[in-house]
Amino acid sequence: MTNYKSDSQPRPEAHEESGKIVIPQLIFAFSLFLFFMVFLLSDAYASLRIWLTLAAIILSLLSLCLHFSDIHIWDGYLMRRSRSAEALSDIERELQYIRDFISQQRQEQERQEDLFRDFLRDFERDRASEHSEGFERASKGHRAKGTAYHHQPRPGYEVAMSVLGLEHGFSQVDLKKAWKKKAFDTHPDHGGSSEKFQEITDAYNCLRA
């Protein structure tokens, strides 16, 4: 995976690497100082010169071991860090894909709900139109004779009164109360059927005309 970084910015790995390798360098410099002390001491300090020589040799070997081991460990660390960065980038990309997918599904669900509501509205409007036409045809003959629509016994009128449980001489207040009660009891959201609810609505439309 390619990481785009400006060359002008210092790499933190370089600073950490120099900090790690400076310890072996200090040990090696101290071993050189011991070698220098061995040459400066006179023969009267022969035993001390031997010990200093051994210490300088040991420190030199130790500095070399630390130097190469630090390079190996640091290279492994940089490799693991690079792989971790790639893994994190892959995880973030997958999470973004999941978020986009959820957002698309939510939008699709909202669209389907809107379509379903439009379908129900059109269906109820068509049903209301059909029932209203039926009531209108049933009472058409009586209206043609000039009889009062709300006070003469017409087939559609009688059916609508029976559906709402009303008697002759009802007022508009009685009509609204009966319609609200029947509509509430037969509404599909309250356990009723859509056909019965539509019948109640059509009866109300017929009687209030």
Interval 19-78: pLDDT, tens:
445 777 787 888 888 888 888 877 777 888 888 888 888 888 887 777 766 555 655 666
128 membership: H or E segment, kind and range: helix 46-144
Q: Say what the pTM is.
A: 0.28
Of 57, 52, 60, 51, the C-alpha closest to 27 is 60
Query: Residue 102: which pLDDT band, with cuts at 50, 70 and 90?
Result: very high
**CATH node for 147-207:** 1.10.287.110
7-14 mean pLDDT: 46
Tell me which of 18 and 111 has the higher pLDDT.
Answer: 111
199-205 mean pLDDT: 84
From residue 180, give the alpha-carbon distance in Å to each of 19, 32, 187.
Answer: 85, 105, 10
Average pLDDT, the chain: 74
